[in-house]
Amino acid sequence: MKGAILKIENSIEKTIIEFLKKGLDKKLFDVVLIPVKVPAGDSYAWVLVQDKALLEDANPLPPVMLVQGAKALSSITRRGKSNKKIAAIMRPCEIRASIELSKLQQIDLENICLISIDCPGALPLKDYLEDTKKGIDTFKKVIKEWGNESVRPICQMCDKSVGLSIQSDLHIGIFGAKNNEIYLIPSSQKGKSILEEIGIPAEESMDNWEKKTKEFVETRKKNRKKIQSTLSEKVMGLDNLLETFSNCINCHNCQSVCPICYCRQCYFESEKMKLSSDDYLIRAESKGILRFLPDTLLFHLGRMTHMSLSCVGCGACEDACPMSIKVAQIFSIVGDRSQKVFNYIPGKSIEESLPLKVYEEDEFHDVEKP
Amino acid sequence: MKDDFEPTIIGFLCRWCSYAGADLAGTSRLQYPPSMLPIRVMCSSRVDPVFIITAFLRGADAVLVAGCHPGDCHYIEGNYYTRRRFACLRKIFETLGMESDRIRLSWISASEGPRFAQVVTDYTDKIKKLGPNPAKKEIFL
Ligand code: SF4
Ligand code: SF4
Ligand code: SF4
Ligand code: FES
């Protein structure tokens, strides 16, 4: 595999920003979609920047994930393609969600250049907000020590955070960036020509980086299995499930921040779920008692059946849960298992069809009961 | 105690095949247990897995989805999608340790009255052995 090498000047972030500035200069893209530190506080927001000078404050790798990047991209292009070329710099799970959303017709990728970056993880929002100064320092460590345990549990078990496990146009390799350098690896024609136009064609061997990222992914895979099997034991069975979600206050935050839950009208917030008092009274009568709000578990199980095949394990739901329910970790277990049924990896490739949009005539006979 | 347990099975039957099959079983005066509550849908693919989960969590002892045989769907390909969704739902049930035997997918054509009676009989027996759906008693659902 071939890529280009950039010498780090000042910091990884600054080096990436300089690269983006060159792209803007040469009109390889017209705008950049990137997180920027909000001046008023230690928070981050997605911005579309056209002005090179304003790129200065951007941070391609913020310590936390606030709005999931795919959501930002979808709000720009859901009504059709962008008329200007946008370079979107995102974490791998945000890129993968973008690819899923493009298959779901919620993002038009035509004029978009997806730039992914090796991701060391993100800090849990709650931890970060408690002490943002400390959070920023912690994150500096996180970028240096890959595998640091201050990142969100879902990040600690993420096996697609580094390397070329995703299909962006251009990937920025910072994993194990030694000798003060980072790598730019194109995975599409778009990415390739950007590097050529800037005058840094992909000619250097990336074998070493590739080998190291692969090793890291292997340890992550093991970690994922371990965390999932411990958690599985705690959530399996109706009693355990109820226990797991017993603190859920039905706020639906997990649904509204999820990039994959794009429905303008969620079934679980629709008129269909507003039932008559008779319905509740009959249920209360037959059980002797009925909890309110009811149907919490229905919401979670229903959401799983709707979107787990495309769940990219980004952790946005878990970050947004006010009750500290391990939503993303649980969804990742269900996601992994259901995706495996179709050998499908969400966000891996734009060509691969969504499993529920295609079929074969001769398949899955094991679920048909004579 | 288990002997007098009469299961309630919710049956989502497609209008063109399985519901007609049920009709035929009725008009042919075939004997089968009165355990199934049929719900007519236009096609088996109309059944959002959420309907199945709703029935299950509300205490149905089992849920049957029945449609035309593959290749015979009135809408040409609806039941192929049904099968994929069902495979996914089953996996979710298994993953979360919920009894996946309580959900079932079968193909029953309009002319298969006896087969309809057989499916209901067999499934009722099976659920009888399994006992009542534990969700019935969960008050904090
Ligand atoms: S839970 Fe289902 S209906 Fe609601 S937003 Fe997600 S996919 Fe759509
Ligand atoms: S369910 Fe959670 S982890 Fe999965 S895509 Fe949605 S927000 Fe991300
Ligand atoms: S965000 Fe948390 S509390 Fe709110 S609905 Fe989701 S799981 Fe329940
Ligand atoms: S009409 Fe019977 S399964 Fe589609």
pLDDT band of B83, cuts 50, 70, 90? very high
Total beta-carbon pairs less than 8 A apart between chain A and chain B: 119
Q: What 8-state DSSP symbol labels residue A63?
A: S
What's the ipTM?
A: 0.95
Q: How far apart are CA A228 and CA A159, in angstroms?
A: 13
- Which residues in chain A have their CB less than 8 angstroms from residue B133's CB? none
Residue type, A295: D
Nearest residue (by CA) to ligand 3, atom 7, is: A248
| CATH code for residues B7-129 | 3.40.50
Q: How far apart are CA B106 and CA B64, in angstroms?
A: 7
- Answer yes or no: is the C-beta of A253 below 6 A from any ligand 3 atom: yes
The pLDDT value given to residue A75: 95
- Which residues in chain A have their CB less than 8 angstroms from residue B81's CB? 356, 359
Nearest to B55 by CA among B7, B16, B15, B17: B7
Distance (Å) of CA A247 to CA A274, A280, A327, A344, B140 = 22, 21, 12, 32, 11
- Answer yes or no: is the C-beta of A331 below 6 A from any ligand 2 atom: yes
- Which residues in chain B have their CB less than 8 angstroms from residue A370's CB? 106
Percent of chain A with pLDDT over 70: 100
Substitution site in B68, B86, B111, B116 for ligand 4 pocket (most atoms within 8 Å of beta carbon): B68
Question: Are residues A235 and B91, on separate chains, in Cβ contact within 8 Å?
Answer: no
Is residue A163 a contact partner of residue A214, using CB atoms and an 8 Å limit? yes
Question: Are residues B88 and A237, on separate chains, in Cβ contact within 8 Å?
Answer: no
The pLDDT value given to residue A366: 96
Of the bound ligands, which one is closest to the alpha carbon of residue A314? 2
Q: How far apart are CA A159 and CA A170, in angstroms?
A: 19
- Arithmetic mean of pLDDT, A213-220: 95
Q: Can you say how many angstroms the Cα of residue B3 is from the centroid of all Cα atoms in its chain?
A: 22
Q: What 8-state DSSP symbol labels residue A186?
A: E
- Arithmetic mean of pLDDT, A51-69: 94
Q: How far apart are CA B31 and CA A3, in angstroms?
A: 72
Q: How far apart are CA B93 and CA B49, in angstroms?
A: 11
Question: Are residues B97 and A236, on separate chains, in Cβ contact within 8 Å?
Answer: yes
Question: Are residues B50 and A267, on separate chains, in Cβ contact within 8 Å?
Answer: yes
Q: How far apart are CA A251 and CA A255, in angstroms?
A: 9
Does residue B3 surpass a pLDDT of 90?
no
Nearest residue of chain B to residue A301 (CA atoms)? B53
- Answer yes or no: is the C-beta of A293 below 6 A from any ligand 3 atom: no
Q: How far apart are CA A90 and CA A62, in angstroms?
A: 10
Burial A340-367 (b: 16+ CB within 10 A, else e): ebbebbbbbeeebeebeeebeeeebeeb
Question: Are residues B140 and A363, on separate chains, in Cβ contact within 8 Å?
Answer: no
Nearest residue (by CA) to ligand 1, atom 4, is: A266
Across the interface, which of B77, B86, B134 has its CB nearest the CB of A367? Answer: B86
Contacts of A143 (CB under 8 A, 6+ apart): A12, A61, A120, A174
Nearest to A163 by CA among A93, A211, A115: A211
Contacts of A129 (CB under 8 A, 6+ apart): A135
Is residue A288 a contact partner of residue A240, using CB atoms and an 8 Å limit? no
Q: Helices then strands (H, E): number in chain A?
A: 15, 8
Write down the mean pLDDT value for chain A. 94
Q: How far is the CA of A151 from the centre of ligand 3 (A)?
A: 21
Is residue A154 classed exposed, middle or buried when 0-12, 13-18 and 19+ CB atoms within 10 A define those classes? Answer: buried
Question: Are residues A338 and B84, on separate chains, in Cβ contact within 8 Å?
Answer: no
The pLDDT value given to residue A157: 96
Q: How far apart are CA A68 and CA A46, in angstroms?
A: 9
Q: How far apart are CA A348 and CA A296, in angstroms?
A: 32
The pLDDT value given to residue A286: 86
The pLDDT value given to residue B1: 47
DSSP string for residues in A216-248:
HHHHHHHHHHHHHHHHHHHH-SHHHHHHHTTT-
Q: Read off the pLDDT of residues B43-81 as tens digits, 9 standing for 90 and up.
A: 999 999 999 999 999 999 999 999 999 999 999 999 999
Q: Read off the pLDDT of residues A107-118 as tens digits, 9 standing for 90 and up.
A: 999 999 999 999
Contacts of A327 (CB under 8 A, 6+ apart): A254, A300, A317, A318, A321
Q: Please state the domain extents for chain A.
A: 2-209, 227-359
Q: Read off the pLDDT of residues A127-171 as tens digits, 9 standing for 90 and up.
A: 999 999 999 999 999 998 888 899 999 999 999 999 987 889 999
Write down the mean pLDDT value for chain B. 95
Nearest to A71 by CA among A200, A231, A259: A259
